[in-house]
A and B are shown apart, each in its own frame.
Chain A
Amino acid sequence: MSDTGFIQKLPRALPGLALIVITMVVIRNYIEPWMTNAVVFGTKGWLIKATHLNYILLGIIMGMLYRNVLFGGKLPDVLSDGFKLSRLMIKTGIILLGSLYTLNAIVQLGSMAIFLIGGFVILTIIMVLWLGTVFGLDRSMIGVMANALSICGVSAAVATSPAVEAKASHVAYAIATILGFGIVTMFISPFIGHALGLTDLQYGAWIGTGILNSGQVLAAALAFNPNVAPGTAVSVAEIWNIMRVISIPFAVFAVTIWYWAGKAESADGKRKSLGTLLVEKFPVFVIGFMGMVFLTSMGAFGSVGLKGGPPASDTIQMLRLWMTWIFGFGLVGLGGYIDIRELRQAGGAPLKLGLIVGVTKYVLALLVVFAIKDYLVAI
């Protein structure tokens, strides 16, 4: 089940990548402009205003249609390697996203994010541990759900499972529940954000806290505002998201302690130290992102275009244009990995637990963002 390297994959990935690129080019050059100009019910652009669909959500929908409708639930082998590479595209986009921030902005946004994310991670873990016990779920299942619901969905489930001896079937149901919930929130959040008149900062802080899965945070942010620039929804949401991702090794460590404390047998070398977890579970792309922030702060790409400062340099503007395309490609690929058959099979106590905790977190995050809106600082 090992993944082969990037270079070996590349020739086999070309057909899938070509389909992804063509899809996004058609969406951005033909479908989105047509939706913007079409007159429906006597209103120009009604399709965009009513549905809040932009190239990001259209790309995800197309990816989902390819897999679940056109190809009957499974991507053909000739395309699957290209779609797999979507992970790399999104990671690359996130690293480039570092060019939106200076170190000063990161400190400002990051300190707000630590406050919100830290609080929500701890509260969510406690809630899942309690509710999971009430529902009589298996202890390892509770451990996986605790981290998956509190941090960032699939990444956290994957990182936690071996540490709490979760069975494959348990992990599968946890992932299906989390992805299903995340997909719903990804599509409804832009509606709610616009209906409530949220600013980019408020919206980014809300979804960065309330949506469970990282890819869906990115998509929901770009669906609300497709612009990639300092102060836009994606620039805020991703700082929140990165804070969550950084907390994975710590949360795995905490949940592992809880898991083994309740077991009759000893950990017997199965429980790993925090240092080992940091090495194994720390997402390397965060280092790339911080490197990009450092280079930006040093002026390597010229002016960032912060509010009140000089306009963004040509290099920065070019990077931002690239990012919109890279994210567009990556999210078509993400859509192609949403398997409706898998999600439809989610059920039972894990689904009940996931829904209760997920909805609570989603709504509570919105209320908290409203409550502290005067303290949120724009960059």
Chain B
Amino acid sequence: MGFSNIVVAVDGSEASQEALNHAVELARQSKSALTGFFIIDGGWPNFIGNDWQSAKGARQGFLDYIREEQEQQAEAARQQFEAAAEGIAESRFSILAGDPTELMISKANAVDTDLLIVGQRIFQVSGRPSLRSLSKRLAAKATRPLMLFP
């Protein structure tokens, strides 16, 4: 089966390494483009949404702190991707922001995604508890080829 664009979710941790290695291998074999991405979880304000007693400074300070951690993780993901994708003619990496589950489903179903490759523990390194079920929901909602790694 030939691919023109293989997409892989990368989070800069071991959880995405195997999926990334496989995506790179497949992209080399099929001479396809490789697209990596990281998602900055935009669900934190809602997650602490009922925290109505926090001082504004404490609440915003916390959100800024979490954002900083996620930006560092995004940079780690970029480095992980670039190291693995070295030598691939057409590779690109992007950082998205929003609800990881929704964005993953939209990536999985995009017309220019020939195959989405994902590790099952993706984004748990800096995410909310519900992201543990992200791959399960992705498998249920994906309408295009999807490859899940343990």
Contact = CB atoms under 8 A, between A and B. Distances in A.
Interface of A: 1-3, 74, 80, 83-84, 86-88, 90-91, 152-155, 158-159, 161-162, 167-169, 171-173, 175-176, 179, 214-215, 245, 248, 279-285, 330, 333-334, 337-339, 341-346
Interface string B70-113: 10000000000000000000000000000100000000000000
A152 B55 CA distance: 13
B107 to A, nearest CB: 18
Interface of A is mostly: helix
Interface of B is mostly: helix
Interface residues of B, number: 38
B53 to A, nearest CB: 4
B58 A339 contact: no
Interface of B: 41-42, 44-67, 69-70, 99, 124-130, 132-133
A171 B69 CA distance: 12
Contact of A215 (B52, B66, B124, B130): B52
Nearest to A285: B53
Contacts of B57: 279-281
Contacts of A339: 47, 130
A155 B42 CA distance: 19
Nearest to A172: B128
B129 A337 contact: no
A161 B51 CA distance: 14
B69 A167 contact: yes
Given A167-B126, A281-B57, A345-B133, A158 B51 contact: yes
Contacts of A90: 52
B130 A168 contact: no
A339 to B, nearest CB: 7
Contact of A173 (B61, B63, B129): B129
A339 B131 CA distance: 13
A158 B48 contact: yes
B130 A283 contact: no
B130 to A, nearest CB: 4
Contacts of A168: 41, 44, 66, 69-70, 126-128
Contact of A284 (B48, B56, B125): B56
B129 to A, nearest CB: 3
Contact of B63 (A1, A176, A245, A282): A1
A337 B58 contact: no
Contacts of B65: 161-162
A175 B48 contact: yes
A316 B128 CA distance: 43
Greatest chain B CB density within 10 A among A84, A179, A283, A285 is at A283
Contacts of A169: 124-127
Given A282-B55, A342-B47, A1 B130 contact: no
